[in-house]
Protein backbone atom coordinates (compact mmCIF):
# COMPACT_ATOMS: atom_id res chain seq x y z
CA UNK A 1 0.00 0.00 0.00
CA UNK A 2 1.07 3.57 -0.59
CA UNK A 3 1.42 6.40 1.91
CA UNK A 4 -1.67 8.06 0.46
CA UNK A 5 -3.82 4.93 0.94
CA UNK A 6 -2.51 4.40 4.47
CA UNK A 7 -3.28 8.05 5.25
CA UNK A 8 -6.88 7.80 4.04
CA UNK A 9 -7.36 4.58 6.00
CA UNK A 10 -5.90 5.97 9.21
CA UNK A 11 -7.84 9.24 8.94
CA UNK A 12 -11.06 7.35 8.29
CA UNK A 13 -10.44 5.03 11.23
CA UNK A 14 -9.68 7.99 13.54
CA UNK A 15 -12.85 9.82 12.50
CA UNK A 16 -14.99 6.70 12.88
CA UNK A 17 -13.48 5.79 16.25
CA UNK A 18 -13.79 9.30 17.64
CA UNK A 19 -17.42 9.53 16.46
CA UNK A 20 -18.17 6.27 18.28
CA UNK A 21 -16.39 7.51 21.39
CA UNK A 22 -18.33 10.79 21.21
CA UNK A 23 -21.60 8.91 21.00
CA UNK A 24 -20.90 6.39 23.78
CA UNK A 25 -18.48 8.22 26.07
CA UNK A 26 -18.10 12.00 25.76
CA UNK A 27 -18.92 14.65 23.17
CA UNK A 28 -15.42 16.05 23.69
CA UNK A 29 -14.14 13.31 21.38
CA UNK A 30 -15.59 15.38 18.53
CA UNK A 31 -12.69 17.77 19.08
CA UNK A 32 -10.39 14.98 17.89
CA UNK A 33 -12.61 14.48 14.84
CA UNK A 34 -12.30 18.21 14.13
CA UNK A 35 -8.52 18.04 14.55
CA UNK A 36 -8.28 15.24 11.98
CA UNK A 37 -10.48 17.15 9.54
CA UNK A 38 -8.53 20.38 10.02
CA UNK A 39 -5.26 18.54 9.49
CA UNK A 40 -6.57 17.02 6.24
CA UNK A 41 -7.72 20.44 5.08
CA UNK A 42 -4.37 22.10 5.75
CA UNK A 43 -2.54 19.23 4.04
CA UNK A 44 -4.61 19.86 0.90
CA UNK A 45 -3.13 23.36 0.71
CA UNK A 46 0.39 22.72 1.99
CA UNK A 47 0.95 19.16 0.72
CA UNK A 48 2.40 18.28 4.15
CA UNK A 49 0.86 16.05 6.78
CA UNK A 50 2.57 14.79 9.95
CA UNK A 51 1.14 11.28 9.47
CA UNK A 52 2.64 11.09 5.96
CA UNK A 53 6.05 11.93 7.40
CA UNK A 54 5.66 9.17 9.99
CA UNK A 55 4.52 6.64 7.38
CA UNK A 56 7.45 7.46 5.09
CA UNK A 57 9.89 6.98 7.97
CA UNK A 58 8.27 3.61 8.63
CA UNK A 59 9.04 2.62 5.04
CA UNK A 60 5.79 3.14 3.15
CA UNK A 61 6.22 4.21 -0.48
CA UNK A 62 4.61 7.30 -1.92
CA UNK A 63 2.25 6.97 -4.87
CA UNK A 64 4.82 8.35 -7.33
CA UNK A 65 7.37 5.72 -6.33
CA UNK A 66 4.88 2.86 -6.44
CA UNK A 67 3.95 3.55 -10.09
CA UNK A 68 7.47 3.17 -11.42
> Please, which pLDDT band fits residue 67 given cuts at 50, 70 and 90?
low
> Please, which pLDDT band fits residue 46 given cuts at 50, 70 and 90?
very high
Cα torsion 51, 52, 57, 63 to 10°: value is 150
Contact 8, 68 (CB under 8 A): no
DSSP line for 16-63? HHHHHHHHHT-GGGHHHHHHHHHHHHHHHHHS--HHHHHHHHTTPBPH
Amino acid sequence: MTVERYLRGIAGAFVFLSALLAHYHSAYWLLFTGFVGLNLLQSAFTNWCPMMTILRRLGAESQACAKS
